Amino acid sequence: MRKLVLLFALAALVAAMVACSAPPTPTPKPAPTTLPSPTAVPTKAPPTSTPRPTPTVAPLAIDALKNVEYQVVVAGVARAVKLANGVFEDKAAKLRVVMADIVGFGDLNGDGVSDAAVILATTTGSSSVLYDLDAVLNQNGAAKFVASTPLGDRVQVKSIAIQGSEIAVDLLTQGPKDPISKPTLAVTRKYRLQGDKLVSTTPATPTSAAPPTKASAPATPKPVATATPTKPPLPKGSLAYHWNDSGVDRMSVLNLETGIVTPYLVVGPVIDVTQNTNAHIGEWSPDGSKFAYIFAGALNASNILKVLDSAGNSVSLYSSDAGGGLSSPTWSPDGKRIAFARMGPNQQWWTITIINADGTQCGDKFECVNRQVQGEQYRGGVSWSKQGLLAAGFNTTGANEVYTIYADGSGARNLTNHPADDSTPVWSPDGKLIAFASNRDGRSQIYVMNADGGGLRRVSQSAFADFSPTWSPDGKWLAFASTREGQTDIYMMDLSGGNVTRLTKTGGDHPIWSR
């Protein structure tokens, strides 16, 4: 019995030893199931795989974009131009490049940083104004030009938007019957940055189906709705403006209803022309029967205030000191007095002076009001409102400002209070608004504000200088001088800044509208 037990124990031991030395019997594997990939299994990631925070990059500022070196194509040759405050000018080559105020921001190259798309307008002394779309990348907060594509000659860019990495440009271009200077066809063009090129992604316009060859039954006539005019009725009145006729400074009058231009009078080299103040040289009386203006017989000669009546008779009322000048004659609401600016010899001082329009004295003196203004220099503009308040442009702090002043010379109030130059203010016919020129956005443009300085808004939206505003008699239009066609001419626009119309083509500035 003991031998039998030992025999069984020995057999069990041998079996165990065999089991330990033999390979294990394969365990049946379950059917494959979807499992997370090994990299998705939560494990302790090595230090090098720890995601780093994306560095914060400062967005591009408008001022930075206005001082970038861009590239333009002139006569088929690419040229680098370094803007300074949004402008590049090479007078010898008659080349001028201006950055427009319309800018789009967004990520152009997919690096998560906001870039920019800008518009450049290039002139070369002709009437052409070539517009380009330019891509600017944000490289660690610095603006770098990378690509450009042409948009056309004298197009009107309305807006830019960067959607995803695509640039969308809304503009007016020339339709089949449009003159090149008056585009009316609204289009949207799209571009994408690819390397150093802007590539068009604008979908092709489907070709219109050909008209059927078989005559179809005539459609039942439908009432045709009267189209809403896109342009307000042409304003009435006349515009007097200065222009240089073969070296002679003249004023002509444009009748806006007939389009007829009539030579009016010779003004000569008055101080507003020689000093480029852009203030008006003359103004019609409230009843339109007289025209007060400044005359100079020669360069640096005394400036003379004159009044011309409807019969063509001219009377001299006031003369400046030798080496001085007169500027900006403006009538009182009742037409009995004229205010103007008077510069002393060598422009060491200036005053706002008021006299009787008939040439009579004010009591025991000729000047009714003679308020001397302290300031560095005079930059233009005196205007008398319907309510009897004067607006004037002068500087007491280094920058020119727009002030209102009572007719007795008291109560001067700064309405603009801005570090830029604000000048040539003019009252609207109802005395509720003041239009003026300011370079606060990099170049001279036309602005409008309320009589108390509130409600300020920019009206003109040009890539070129707009200045010397004047109101239409109905107060719905502004005429102004502009360099947008390669020379200074007179234009008009409505109070929204739209319907811009060129009025002169042989040069013109210092406009003044009849009342």
Percent of the chain with pLDDT over 90: 50
DSSP 8-state assignment for residue 460: -
Which has the minimum average pLDDT: 216-225, 468-477, 491-500? 216-225
One domain for residues 196 and 269: no
Give the pLDDT band of residue 78 (cuts 50, 70, 90).
Answer: confident
Check residue 24 and give its pLDDT: 44
Q: Which domain does 122 fall in, by range?
A: 62-200
12 within a domain of the structure (yes/no): no
Check residue 133 and give its pLDDT: 94
One domain for residues 139 and 250: no
225 within a domain of the structure (yes/no): no
- Give the C-alpha separation, 299 to 272, whole Å: 12
Which of 200, 226, 256 is at the close of a domain? 200
User: CB under 8 Å to 431, separation ≥6 — which residues?
Assistant: 385, 386, 387, 389, 451
One domain for residues 175 and 313: no
Which residue shows structure tokens 């005539």? 218
110 within a domain of the structure (yes/no): yes
Check residue 350 and give its pLDDT: 82
Check residue 154 and give its pLDDT: 85
Average pLDDT over residues 29-42: 40
Residue 391's CB: how many other CB atoms inside 10 A?
Answer: 24
465 within a domain of the structure (yes/no): yes
DSSP 8-state assignment for residue 38: G
Q: Return the closest-CA partner of residue 68 out of 82, 79, 56.
A: 82
Average pLDDT over residues 300-328: 92
Check residue 226 and give its pLDDT: 37
Average pLDDT over residues 200-205: 64
Percent helix, strand and coil across the chain, each to the nearest 5:
5, 45, 50
Give the pLDDT band of residue 365 (cuts 50, 70, 90).
Answer: confident
Q: Which residue has the higher pLDDT, 298 or 347?
A: 298
8 within a domain of the structure (yes/no): no
Check residue 4 and give its pLDDT: 42
Give the pLDDT band of residue 182 (cuts 50, 70, 90).
Answer: confident
Check residue 340 and give its pLDDT: 94
Check residue 329 and give its pLDDT: 97
432 within a domain of the structure (yes/no): yes
Check residue 345 and give its pLDDT: 79
Residue-wise burial string across 360-380, b where 16 or more C-beta atoms lie within 10 A, e elsewhere: eeeeeeeebbebebebeebbb
User: CB under 8 Å to 266, separation ≥6 — which residues?
Assistant: 248, 249, 250, 251, 295
Give the pLDDT band of residue 184 (cuts 50, 70, 90).
Answer: confident
Q: Which residue has the higher pLDDT, 208 or 261?
A: 261
338 within a domain of the structure (yes/no): yes
Q: Which residue has the higher pLDDT, 398 or 101?
A: 101
Check residue 36 and give its pLDDT: 39
One domain for residues 414 and 277: yes
Q: Return the closest-CA partner of residue 508 out of 281, 276, 241, 297.
A: 241
Q: pLDDT at residue 387 above 60?
A: yes
Which of 176, 200, 224 is at the close of a domain? 200
* Structural domains of the chain, count: 2
One domain for residues 427 and 280: yes
Average pLDDT over residues 314-338: 93
Q: pLDDT at residue 37 above 90?
A: no
DSSP 8-state assignment for residue 410: -
Summarised one tens digit per residue, pLDDT across range 216-272 is 333 334 333 334 445 667 788 999 999 999 899 999 999 998 899 999 999 999 999
Check residue 76 and give its pLDDT: 63
57 within a domain of the structure (yes/no): no
Which of 152, 172, 200 is at the close of a domain? 200
User: CB under 8 Å to 45, separation ≥6 — which residues?
Assistant: none
Average pLDDT over residues 148-174: 88
Give the pLDDT band of residue 367 (cuts 50, 70, 90).
Answer: confident
Give the pLDDT band of residue 175 (cuts 50, 70, 90).
Answer: low
Check residue 379 and give its pLDDT: 66
Q: pLDDT at residue 301 above 50?
A: yes
One domain for residues 138 and 284: no
Supply the mean pLDDT for the chain. 82
One domain for residues 340 and 429: yes
CA 448 remoteness from chain centre: 14
Tally of helices (H runs) and strands (E runs) in the chain: 3, 35
One domain for residues 175 and 246: no
One domain for residues 479 and 362: yes
One domain for residues 182 and 262: no
One domain for residues 394 and 267: yes
One domain for residues 147 and 248: no
DSSP 8-state assignment for residue 362: B
The CATH number covering residue 363 comes to 2.120.10.30
Check residue 33 and give its pLDDT: 39
Q: pLDDT at residue 331 above 50?
A: yes
Per the document, the length of the chain is: 515
Average pLDDT over residues 175-186: 74
Q: pLDDT at residue 462 above 70?
A: yes
Check residue 211 and give its pLDDT: 37
The pTM assigned to this predicted structure is 0.58
CA 222, 226, 230, 234 dihedral sign is positive
Check residue 229 and give its pLDDT: 43
Burial grade of 71 (CB within 10 A; 0-12, 13-18, 19 or more): middle
